[in-house]
Amino acid sequence: MQKCFDEIPPVGVVTTKSISFAPRAGYAEPIYVRYGPGCYANAVGLANPGAEAFLKELETIEIPADKFLLVSIFGSDLESFLAAARVLAPVADGFELNFSCPHAAGYGAELGQELELVRAITRAVVAETGLPVLVKLSPMLAALARTAEAAIEAGAAGLTLINTAGPGLVAVEEHPVLSNRVGGLSGDAIRPLGLRAVELVRKAVGPDPVIIGMGGIAAPEHVRQYAQAGANLFGVGSALTGLDSRRMRDFFIALERGTVAGVGRTGYERSCDSAAPMDYFPTRIVQRIDFDESLFKLILEDLPGELRPGSMAGKFFFIWLPGVGEKPFAIFSVAEKSIVVRVVGNFTRRLSTLESGAKLYLRGPYGQGVPDPGPGALVHVGGGTGIASLFEIGEHFRGRLQFFLLGARTRTHLFDLDKFKGLGTVLTATDDGSAGRHGPVIELVEQAALEAGEHPIFINCGPAPMVERAFEIERRFSPPDRIIGSIEYLTSCGVGICGKCATPSGMLSCIDGPFLRWEEFQARRR
Ligand SMILES: Cc1cc2nc3c(=O)[nH]c(=O)nc-3n(C[C@H](O)[C@H](O)[C@H](O)COP(=O)(O)OP(=O)(O)OC[C@H]3O[C@@H](n4cnc5c(N)ncnc54)[C@H](O)[C@@H]3O)c2cc1C
Ligand SMILES: Cc1cc2nc3c(=O)[nH]c(=O)nc-3n(C[C@H](O)[C@H](O)[C@H](O)COP(=O)(O)O)c2cc1C
Ligand code: FES
């Protein structure tokens, strides 16, 4: 959010995801799917950390005087809306009341159908907080115009139109994709519903209330269409799919320029479609190799596209098992078509039971690859499953002087050392002392750095404490732009749309990373 306020001049209002008084886990992955060009469905399930925790996050944000923080809240009744509003009022410039999410039983669109409840909740939040309140409605509402009028009569400053439509069920082959089975539709497919909703409501409420128009906005002509229908402000969601921080900024600047200049195309397609690969690629397991009861390798029949060894350096795929879930994994070796997996929870446990011939689906690849660090020797530091990302990176730099410092809890988790030895010098460490140095892998950094010569490039991959500690040691040997790392952030959509993988510096690990430079990790929110 801070990055949006600071770095994207055309963005005047930032709307938060919807927040409830109590934390809510939301649905398991997959949560976001593309079912046609520019057409998406999502079922995030109103995941949020709860009002108190979100307040702490928002307190760190500085909102410029000419910008507006619109905090979206939801609840199951009047009391729970009010409870969230009371907590968040000190940081909000205004509230948006979510009466329109179509995929969470007991919330959102279910409440929006009860006109008198919308009226009562709106009146109560306005009276309690004294802040501007916008009411967000669904295009599916039979009594859309009358509900909008009721919200304005109750004191709302305006309306946000529209939320996602539906819900709908998106399937690949015979399998529903979203873990919730159904989700809200967004993007190009719903622009006609959004335009119709804005036109209808503007006629009903008259010229004064603010209307934020959204639903399928991707190009200047869409903004003008919403303005023509009666909107004064314009929201963008799905069109940001697959845009990293830099391209998102470029997108908004082009959108504003094109709108003001009255041009149609500005180098961007007139669609919410994204270059991000979101199709599911079916493949099968050729072989499963168990290193021990909690670590195994899968050799796959095929990978999507024309991949060569080293081309998956710093990238990752999602594996989707219909009916089970979807989780991110690095390709261990393109040549071998392999993935190495550590069993940590439900998904990885189910994966560990699959036999040769079992079918699974890949989505990707995602990630920016490894930032170009310039010439020089490399010191790779891998801990736990972080090791699985390092072989492709080593392949990418094949021919250079390379050191692989590989750490694991025990000997059996130090896999395929011969492959690494084909690329460079290997030093190992284990927590239990069963192989290599007894202790954390970062204790090997100094030795390798001295052997690597002046200003080696460091590539770190593993748990956050390991990577952060490694950064501190490596700063003694190399400038910050030669220190690179990847920390395993919760990664759900992979295309920059759900915000779950945000790093402390505000970058999205899935789309800006997952490998980032030391400085990019360090830049904290002000
Ligand atoms: C870019 C990236 C590449 C990865 N590559 C590999 C790999 O090559 N091999 C490997 O074994 N693991 C890898 N992981 C981690 C792997 O995705 C998680 O271990 C897996 O999602 C756990 O799912 P689960 O249902 O078994 O566990 P859960 O019961 O869901 O959770 C157990 C723990 O796993 C982590 N986790 C859960 N969901 C996610 C998620 N969506 N994203 C990230 N972490 C999560 C959390 O720390 C959680 O506490 C990678 C993660 C990322 C982000
Ligand atoms: C992944 C995703 C998450 C969303 N989360 C919320 C939310 O928390 N609260 C809300 O009111 N709308 C939410 N929306 C709906 C959008 O704000 C927007 O109303 C809708 O997607 C239509 O705009 P678009 O076609 O530009 O995406 C979400 C949409 C997407 C795609
Ligand atoms: S995982 Fe959704 S934004 Fe990165």
Domain with residue 401: its CATH number is 3.40.50.80
Q: Pocket of ligand 2, candidates 27, 162, 163, 222: which has the most ligand atoms within 8 Å of its Cβ, to mutate?
A: 163
Query: Can you give the length of the chain in residues?
Result: 526
In a domain, 505, yes or no: no
Same domain, 168 and 27: yes
CATH of the domain at 22: 3.20.20.70
290 and 243 belong to one structural domain? no
Tokens of 89: 């009022």
pLDDT classification of 407: cutoffs 50, 70, 90: very high
Distance separating alpha carbons of residues 466 and 187, to the nearest angstrom: 40
Same domain for 241 and 106? yes
| CA 510 to ligand 3: nearest atom | 4
- Mind telling me the catalytic residues? 101
Contact 161, 100 (CB under 8 A): no
- Ligand 1 center to residue 221 CA distance, Å? 41
From 212, 231, 261, the end of a domain falls on 261
Q: Which of 313, 334, 366 is the last residue of a domain?
A: 366
> What is the C-alpha radius of gyration for the chain, rounded to an integer number of angstroms?
25
Give dist(CA 213, CA 215) in Å, integer: 7
The pLDDT tens digits for 127-153 are 999 999 999 999 999 999 999 999 999
At 322, which CATH number? 2.40.30.10
Could you tell me which residues come within 8 angstroms of residue 218 by beta carbon, excluding any fewer than 6 positions away? 38, 187, 188, 236, 238, 239, 268, 269, 270, 271, 272
335 and 207, same structural domain?
A: no
Structure-model confidence comparison of residues 263 and 14, the more confident one: 14
Q: Is 329 in the pocket of ligand 1 (CB under 6 A)?
A: yes
Q: Which domain holds residue 431?
A: 378-488
The pLDDT of 235-251, averaged and rounded, is 94
Average pLDDT over residues 243-263: 89
Task: Please tell me whether residues 251 and 116 are part of one structural domain.
Answer: yes
Residue 81 pLDDT: 98
Q: Is residue 516 part of a domain?
A: no
The model's pLDDT over 184-199, given as tens digits with 9 standing for 90+, comes to 999 999 999 999 999 9
CA of 385 to the centre of ligand 1 (A): 9
Task: Specify whether 339 is located in the same domain as 409.
Answer: no
Examine residue 179 and state whether it is found in any structural domain, yes or no: yes
> What DSSP state is assigned to residue 332?
S
| Same-domain check for residues 193 and 127 | yes
State both tokens at 319. 């594996």
Confidence class of residue 525 from pLDDT cuts 50, 70 and 90? very low
**pLDDT of 64 strictly over 90:** no
Contacts of 247 (CB under 8 A, 6+ apart): none
pLDDT at 362 over 70: yes
**Quick one: 475 and 386 in the same domain?**
yes
Mean of pLDDT values over 309-338: 97
| Average predicted confidence (pLDDT) for the chain | 94
CA 473 / ligand 2 centre spacing (Å): 42
User: Is 168 found in the same domain as 220?
Assistant: yes
The answer to whether residue 507 is domain-embedded is no
Query: Does the CB atom of residue 341 touch ligand 1 within 6 A?
Result: yes
266 has a pLDDT exceeding 60: no
Query: What is the complex's ipTM, to 2 decimals?
Result: 0.95
Residue 96 lies in a domain: yes
Query: Does one domain contain both 301 and 349?
Result: yes
Residue 268 confidence (pLDDT): 54
pLDDT confidence band for 438 (50 / 70 / 90) = very high
**Average of pLDDT values for 433-452?**
96
- What mean pLDDT comes out for the span 356-384? 95
Atom nearest to 498 CA in ligand 3: 2
Is 519 inside any structural domain? no
Q: What is residue 264's predicted lDDT score, i.e. its pLDDT? A: 59
Distance CA 383, CA 339 (A): 16
* Residue whose entry in the numeric block shows the structure tokens 């909690």: 294
State both tokens at 315. Answer: 């990238």
Percent of the chain with pLDDT over 90: 87
Q: Is residue 523 predicted with pLDDT exceeding 70?
A: no
Please tell me the predicted confidence (pLDDT) of residue 265: 56
Go through 36-62 and write b for each residue having 16 or more CB atoms within 10 A of its CB, e for each that does not: eebbbbbbbbbbbbebeebbeebeebe
Looking at the fold, whether 320 and 466 belong to one and the same domain comes out as no
Q: Which residues contact 51 (CB under 8 A, 6 or more apart)?
A: 19, 20, 21, 73, 83, 84, 87, 88
Closest alpha carbon to 451 in 424, 433, 475: 424
130 found inside a domain: yes
Per-residue pLDDT, averaged over 62-82, amounts to: 95
Instruction: Let me know whether 478 and 408 are in one domain.
Output: yes
Is the CB of 225 inside a 6 Å radius of any atom of ligand 2? no
Q: What is the pLDDT of residue 17?
A: 95
Residue 86 falls inside a structural domain:
yes
For the chain, the domain total comes to 3
For residue 160, the model assigns a pLDDT of 98
Check residue 373 and give its pLDDT: 85
* 126 phi, psi to nearest 5 deg: -60, -50
